Amino acid sequence: MQLPVSVLNGAGKETEMSLAGIGILTVGDLMEFVPARYDDMRLKNPSEAAHDEKVTIEGTIQTEPSVMYYGKKKSRLTFKMLSGPHVINVTFFNQPYLKKKAGIGDTVTVTGKWDRHRLALSGQVLEAGQYRREMDFEAVYLLRNAISLKLFRKLVLQAIDLYGSYIEETLPENILRKYRLMDRKEAIRALHFPESQEEMKQARRRFVYEEFFRFQLKMQALRKVIREQSGGVVQKYDLVKLKKLIDSLPFELTNAQKKAVNEICADMKSRYRMNRLLQGDVGSGKTAVATLALYASVTAGYQGALMVPTEILAEQHAKSLHDMLEPFGVHTALLTGTVKGKKRRLLLETLAAGEIDILIGTHALIQDDVLFHNLGLVITDEQHRFGVNQRRILRGKGKNPDVLFMTATPIPRTLAITVFGEMDVSIINEMPAGRKVIETYWAKEEMLGRVLDFTEKELRKGRQAYVICPLIEESEKLDFQNALDVHAQLSSYFHGKFTVGLMHGRLSGDEKEAVMKSFSANELNVLVSTTVVEVGVNVPNATVMIIYDAERFGLSQLHQLRGRVGRGSEQSYCMLIADPKSETGKERMTAMTETNDGFVLSEKDLELRGPGDFFGRKQSGLPEFKMADMVHDYRVLETAREDAQTFIDSPSFWTDEEYHLLRTILTESGVLSNEKLD
């Protein structure tokens, strides 16, 4: 298979170069080159051919073929052909010589583009006599003009004839049997020369599985390496105490929370380092889960750290953790940029002495002089807000502490297990009972007056409102201008009745905090803001969320914004002001009004915008697959992942001769030498 393509007849120097240009160097490359599509070559009855489709039709010539010349070297050959009961007008452009091929009364087959309305066939190929078909389906390749389709097919056919018997099976025997997958020899042939639609499907099914399986094998091996080579701390937590804390909570944990706690605790107890992502919608109770995990760590004799992206959030978390854990004799402390001087010094001393059990804070936690006594568990909230470096520094403050990342951005499962394939993922996909659904409405711009009337009613009840300004992609300046405009408008609209605050990216950190604090204290009734307000602030008294130009936001982002309201006991509302022109735009607005489930929306977003757009172009980190499609083949991806995990975890995978070839995937990609770690 490593033979150069030049061993083939017809592949001279020039062809060899051309093929190299499209990445084909060896006979193996040639055989694995994936067709872009297949042309249906089956003989069609005119009555069943679709408009504009390429079809092959057989018939008898009814009128003498005649050629008309026009322009320079341009010609048109026409005749009428009888096919079944239909009389078809056939035209060939610029192939006058075809006239010699057939005459009136002859049977011919014509391949061309079908015009259903005019019963006309714009011919490309004319064959005399009855249809002698070789293949029902013909593979078409994207060759970028490197080489002709005809020659390419010839070479592929020759390669398979001469070297097909050397094709090695790459999937384990039991996998092939389990899913009834075509063996590799057969699948390669069927990929290029399928005898039926079914064969095409089966060949594709095999290669999709293979791609995912190989990819997941690497991911799962990496995961194993990260766990085992890092030698984490064994945290022997006190289950009885943990249960007491759970019993003391004012609510029953949801099943999803219980499952997440179990998964996290199992990791903590093991001798491997935890490397886990906890996903859950806003308000699904991640903080409660984090608190339990931190407490477990404390009962095992370790310290814990919780790092969040903003000061307000840190304060909120510190307070709720303190309230929950203080009765259990746990010492918590808050460290942010505003903790300074003597107070800070004292805090760091007690931390280093191990007298503080849990430290909550912003990135102030990762300053050099912050030293723990024995850090066992690190949790970061809204993990995408922190850079890889910041997370690593925090982790470095202990000896391989267990690490948990939390995010409220629901990532579709397919993407999560691909992009975060080397991490373990826990998902809280269930909301605590009794949560009020946020009523969501989609309003056109001309209805803004009514939206504001409604808002005023809520404000008069003492509630508060967020107004999110239009988002101008890649123009912070315009975002800023919009915020100023909207703020000015609403200030005059509510003048003398309600106060309107303003929040945008040009404010300094301190200024932002100040605005948020006065909104939080209900000194501001309305907060006009750009998307900076997105991260988990909690103002339970806010019941209205208005989003201008909502069609400019992704569904996940809209959902995040909506999650700012509905945090108290009152009914909350989200109003999307949008006038989308496209169908998908309308579909997205409708989806928002129909569901409050972040995971459903993120799947929808993925479906409507595709995987590339999901994370934004910059940091997609998505692998490329040749045949497989992460969105449409996601079930296969899941299955392949489970299978890969089973293999990686089984001792025989690492020793048996049968798996030698699979193991070379791992050695070749460098996964085993752990190059990807950090």
Tell me how far apart the alpha carbons of residues 254 and 258 are, in angstroms, rounded to a whole number.
6
Distance CA 564, CA 540 (A): 8
DSSP E strand stretches across 197-260: none
Query: How far is residue 659's CA from residue 620's CA, in Å, rounded to a whole number?
Result: 32
Nearer to ligand ADP, 366 or 408 (CB): 408
Q: 55 or 288: whose CB is closer to ligand ADP?
A: 288
Residue 257 interface partner, choices Mg ion, ligand ADP, none, CB cut-off 5-8 Å depending on type: ligand ADP
Q: From the list ligand ADP, Mg ion, none, which binds 246 (C-beta under 5 to 8 Å, kind-based)?
A: none
Whether the Cβ atoms of residue 373 and residue 354 lie closer than 8 Å to each other: yes
Structural tokens at position 126: 């004319």
By a kind-dependent CB cut-off of 5 to 8 A, residue 602 interacts, out of ligand ADP, Mg ion, none, with none
Residues 6+ apart with CB under 8 A from 84: 45, 46, 47, 59
Work out whether 316 is an interface residue with Mg ion (CB under 5 A).
no
Distance of CA 32 to the CA centre of its chain: 27
Binding segment (CB under 5 A) for Mg ion, from list 287-295, 321-329, 471-479, 611-619? 287-295
Name the residue with tokens 């791992």: 666
Q: How far is the CB of 478 from Mg ion (least distance, A)?
A: 31
CB of 237 to Mg ion, least distance (A): 22
Q: Which positions touch ligand ADP (CB under 6 A)?
A: 251-254, 257, 280, 282-288, 408, 432
The secondary element (H helix, E strand) that includes residue 45 is none
Q: 654: number of CA atoms within 13 Å, CB side?
A: 9
CB of 201 to ligand ADP, least distance (A): 42
Closest approach of ligand ADP to the CB of residue 546, in Å:
22
* Choice between 18 and 287, CB closer to ligand ADP: 287
**Minimum CB–partner distance for residue 432 and ligand ADP (Å):** 3
Give the nearest distance from C-beta 153 to Mg ion in angstroms: 58
Residue numbers 499-558 binding Mg ion by CB under 5 A = 536
User: 349 Cβ partners below 8 Å, 6+ apart?
Assistant: none
Does an H or E element contain 82, and which?
strand 74-83
Q: Which two tokens stand for residue 590?
A: 């409708």
Considering the complex, state which of residue 138 and residue 570 has its C-beta at the smaller distance from ligand ADP. Answer: 570
The site partner of 235 among ligand ADP, Mg ion, none (C-beta below 5 to 8 Å per kind) is none
The 8-class DSSP code of residue 13 comes to: H
Between 243 and 457, name the residue whose CB sits nearer to ligand ADP: 243
CB 127 within 8 A of CB 33: no
Quote the tokens at residue 257: 């929370």
Residue reference for tokens 């079908």: 114
Q: Which of 235, 287, 297, 520 binds Mg ion (CB under 5 A)?
A: 287
Q: How far is the CB of 542 from Mg ion (least distance, A)?
A: 16
The nearest distance, CB 568 to ligand ADP, in angstroms, is 9
Q: Considering CB distances under 5 to 8 angstroms, the limit depending on partner class, which of ligand ADP, Mg ion, none binds residue 182?
A: none
**Binds 566: which of Mg ion, ligand ADP, none (CB < 5-8 Å by kind):** none
DSSP at 635: H
Q: Which is nearer to Mg ion, 287 or 596 (CB)?
A: 287
Nearer Cβ to Mg ion (376/536):
536
Measured from the CB atom, the residue of 282 and 515 that comes closer to ligand ADP is 282
Q: Compute the least distance from the CB of residue 540 to ligand ADP, in Å.
A: 8
Pairing of strands 402-407, 275-280: parallel
Kindly list the distances between the CA atom of residue 81 and the CA atoms of 48, 65, 75, 88, 131, in Å, as whole numbers in the listed order. Answer: 17, 10, 19, 5, 15
What is the rounded CA–CA span in Å between residue 273 and residue 395?
11
* CB 479, min distance to Mg ion, A: 25
Which of 35/536 has CB closer to Mg ion? 536
- Between 401 and 598, whose beta carbon lies closer to ligand ADP? 598
Q: Residue 284 binds which one of Mg ion, ligand ADP, none, with CB within 5 to 8 A depending on kind?
A: ligand ADP
Q: Looking at beta carbons only, is 165 or 569 nearer to ligand ADP?
A: 569
- Residues 106 and 100: their CA atoms lie apart, in Å, by 12
Contacting residues for 647 by C-beta, under 8 A, at least 6 apart: 172, 217, 220, 653, 659, 662
* Shorter beta-carbon distance to Mg ion: residue 563 or 611: 563
Question: Which of these ranges, 162-170, 279-287, 328-336, 465-473, lies near Mg ion under the rule CB under 5 A?
Answer: 279-287
**Residue among 464, 658, 646 at smallest CA distance from 565:** 464
- In one-letter notation, the amino acid at residue 621 is G
Q: Which does 380 bind (CB under 5 to 8 A by kind): Mg ion, ligand ADP, none?
A: none
> What is the token pair recorded at 324?
């929950």
Binds 254: which of Mg ion, ligand ADP, none (CB < 5-8 Å by kind): ligand ADP
Nearest residue to 643 via CA among 204, 216, 181, 205: 216
Residue 379 or 526 with smaller CB distance to ligand ADP: 379
Smallest separation (angstroms) from Mg ion to the CB of 286: 5
Rounded to whole angstroms, the Cα distance separating 669 from 133 reads 44
Residue 432 interacting partner from ligand ADP, Mg ion, none (CB closer than 5 to 8 Å by kind): ligand ADP
Residue 18 or 531: the one with the smaller Cβ distance to Mg ion is 531
Q: Nearest approach, Cβ of 370 to ligand ADP (angstroms)?
A: 24
Backbone phi, then psi, for 258, in 5-degree steps? -60, -45
Stretch near Mg ion under the rule CB under 5 A, chosen from 251-259, 286-294, 432-440, 526-534:
286-294
Residue nearest Mg ion, Cβ-based: 287
State which residue, 140 or 253, has the beta carbon closest to ligand ADP: 253
CB of 429 to ligand ADP, least distance (A): 12
Cα(629)–Cα(223) distance, integer angstroms: 23
Q: Which does 230 bind (CB under 5 to 8 A by kind): ligand ADP, Mg ion, none?
A: none
Q: Of ligand ADP, Mg ion, none, which one does residue 501 interact with (CB within 5 to 8 Å by kind)?
A: none
Closer of 536 and 580 to Mg ion (Cβ): 536
Say which entry of ligand ADP, Mg ion, none residue 303 contacts (CB below 5 to 8 A, set by partner kind). none
Q: Strand 137-140 vs strand 37-40: parallel, antiparallel, or unpaired?
A: antiparallel
The residues near 409 (Cβ < 8 Å, ≥ 6 apart) are: 279, 382, 384, 556, 560, 602
Torsion over CA of 212, 218, 221 and 225, rounded to 10 degrees?
A: -150
Shortest reach from residue 172's CB to ligand ADP, in Å = 41
Using DSSP, how many helices (H) and how many strands (E) does the chain show? 22, 21
With CB under 5 to 8 Å by kind, the binding choice for 282 among ligand ADP, Mg ion, none is: ligand ADP
251 binds, among ligand ADP, Mg ion, none (CB under 5 to 8 A by kind): ligand ADP
Strands 358-361 and 332-335: parallel
* Alpha-carbon 309 to chain mean position: 23
Contact 459, 526 (CB under 8 A): yes
> Secondary structure of 381-405 in the HEC alphabet?
ECHHHCCHHHHHHHHCCCCCCEEEE
Residue 172 interacts with which of Mg ion, ligand ADP, none, CB < 5 to 8 Å by class: none
Give least dist CB 182 to Mg ion, A.
48
Q: Name the residues that contact Mg ion, by CB under 5 A.
A: 287, 536
